[in-house]
Amino acid sequence: MSEGATGITAMDAVVIWSVAAAAITAGLGLLWRITRGVRRIVSRVDEFMTTGKGHRPGQVCLHGRA
């Protein structure tokens, strides 16, 4: 077997696992930000669809007005 970059096998394993944990954390953070952005866009589209006439297109108006 070849020796790692530091020459200490345990230290090399700690470095590798630390980098892997940081990469996974960064990926989850990116996924969270994307999800939050999509939810914000959906919320704005929903708000846009409910404004104007005060009801969604195709929704039955309870006040007798369209």
pLDDT per residue as tens, the chain (66 positions): 455 677 888 999 999 999 999 999 999 999 999 999 999 999 888 877 777 555 666 666 666 554
Q: What is the pTM of this model?
A: 0.58
Q: Give me the torsion for CA of 54, 57, 62, 66, rounded to 10°.
A: 80
Apex 55 CA angle, 51 and 58, nearest 5? 125
Tell me, what's the pLDDT at 43? 87
Taking alpha carbons only, the member of 32, 38, 63 closest to residue 46 is: 38
Ranges of beta strands (E only) in the chain are none
